Amino acid sequence: MATIKDVAIKAGVAISTVSAVINRSAPVSEDVIARVEAAIATIGYLPHGAAKALRSGNSRLIGVILPDITNPFFSMVARVIETVCMKAGYMTFVYNTDEDPEHEMRILQMMRMQRVAGMILISTRSDAAHGRRLMAAINVPTVLFGSNVEGTPYDVITLDDRKAGALAIDHLVELGHRRIAIIAGRPGVSTHDERLAACIEALQRHGIVLDEDLIIAADFVQQLAFEAGQKLLARADPPTAIFALSNLMLIGAMRALLAAGKTCPRDLSLVGIGDFDWPEIMSPQMTVVATPAVAMAEFAIGALLDEIDSKRPPAGKRTLFAPELIIRGSSAAVSIEEPLRDPLAI
């Protein structure tokens, strides 16, 4: 591969002049610029990224750490970040944690070795202990996305998870549902904790006594949600509605319904968090609390690049994006009145 030295020789100038032309970092005469650019073109020279990074102390690399790129929500987020980064002259590393904190730490270490200039992190845990581990492993501008982490000074961009939970429960209660099951995520992540807390709060607000058996954690995993759905449907007193706290878990619940030969929304209403690209190809079409993925991702990468460029320390600002309830065919009023369980009615 050609080096900057070859270009300098070819153009008959000094190495530093070539560098100045490439980076426009110092005034160079028009004549010399032309000669250097011609030399670059004929030789086919391309600067050596690692050498640049080593010498300048700036890798112009951004790390993106997310649970699973095959989840359409995250792949869209990655896509948006890539596009914005490329425009700004940054390259991106995208890595999957698989929701495993240990793996997250390993990825963080790789990012550090590459001396990334900044990171967008969708963390696997939200507790303070994990926050301390992160603080020890991260020494670059970072923006937390999707989930919060206690004890970190970073900016956080999330959905308004509490509102998302309340929106769905309110909707189901309005339709007359009282036995509402919740397929939850993984305790310890704010995405789970806040959504679930909001659900419980909403249920209580509506005077519904909480049935712990109707809440099943499925780790945000589609297959576990399927199994949770099967368990719920096999009950003597199955719920009249299921609320799944993520997009893939909603699919799992839907599969359980289909496997049990039940019909939605006749036998059971279904609601999820996170929308799908082509809702009309599902049957029935899903009622969801939609997450503005693109806007959130654009905001997050914008905030990160801003922090990197300005060299400002993180402000620790939390930005919540409003969820939107989209009512489709999967949720409907309870068809058959539940038998009263009040002793007084016997």
Partner DNA sequence: CTGAAAGCGCTAACAT
Partner DNA sequence: ATGTTAGCGCTTTCAG
Interaction pattern, residues 208-247, with a copy of itself; x per rule: CB under 8 A: --------------x-------------------------
Tokens 């609390």 belong to: 289
Of 13, 11, 1, 65, the closest CA to residue 38 belongs to 11
Instruction: Yes or no: say if 241 and 268 are a contact pair by the CB < 8 Å rule.
Output: yes
Site membership for a copy of itself, residue 113 (CB under 8 A): yes
Judge whether 210 and 149 are in contact, CB under 8 Å. Answer: no
Query: Which span sits near a copy of itself by CB under 8 A: 106-114, 229-237, 302-310, 334-342?
Result: 106-114
- Binding of residue 282 to a copy of itself (CB under 8 A): yes
CA dihedral (237, 284, 163, 227) positive or negative: positive
- Say if CB 248 and CB 225 are below 8 A apart: yes
| Residue selected from 14, 51, 129, 333 as contacting a copy of itself according to rule CB under 8 A | 51
Least CB distance to a copy of itself at residue 74 (A)? 9
From the list 141, 172, 198, the residue with the least C-alpha distance to 333 is 172
Closer of 204 and 263 to a copy of itself (Cβ): 263
- Selected from 34, 38, 41, 51, the binder of DNA by CB under 7 A is 51
132 binds a copy of itself (CB under 8 A): no
The smaller minimum CB distance to a copy of itself, of residues 214 and 286, is found at 286
Q: Of the candidates 165, 154, 95, 164, which has an alpha carbon nearest to the alpha carbon of residue 130?
A: 154
CA distance 112 to 107: 9
Q: In the stretch 11-40, what mask flags binding to DNA with x, by CB under 7 A?
A: -xxxxxx-xx-xx-xxxxx-xx--------
Residues 6+ apart with CB under 8 A from 78: 64, 66, 69, 92, 94
* Interaction between residue 5 and DNA (CB under 7 A): yes
Which positions touch a copy of itself (CB under 8 A)? 1, 44, 46-51, 53-54, 59, 68-70, 72, 75-76, 78-79, 82, 86, 91-96, 109-110, 112-115, 136, 139, 222, 251, 254-255, 258, 277-278, 280-283
